[in-house]
Amino acid sequence: MKILNSEQLLFGQNSARFLLYSCGFKVGEIPLPLAGITYFPPEQKFNDDEMSMIIRIRFDFADGNGMEILRRVVQFYHDDIYRHSIRLVIPGECENGYDVKPYGQWRAWFLDDEPIGYGPVEAMFITSQRQDIAQQRYSDTQPWVVE
Q: What's residue 36's pLDDT?
A: 80
Q: Is residue 97 left, alpha or beta, with left meaning phi > 0 and alpha meaning psi from -120 to 50?
A: left
Share of the chain above pLDDT 70, in %: 69
Answer positive or negative: Cα dihedral of 55, 32, 144, 92: positive
Q: Which is more confident, 62 or 138?
A: 62
Run of H or E including 45: strand 43-47
Dump pLDDT digits (tens) for 82-140: 999 999 988 777 778 889 999 887 766 655 555 555 667 888 999 887 655 444 444 55
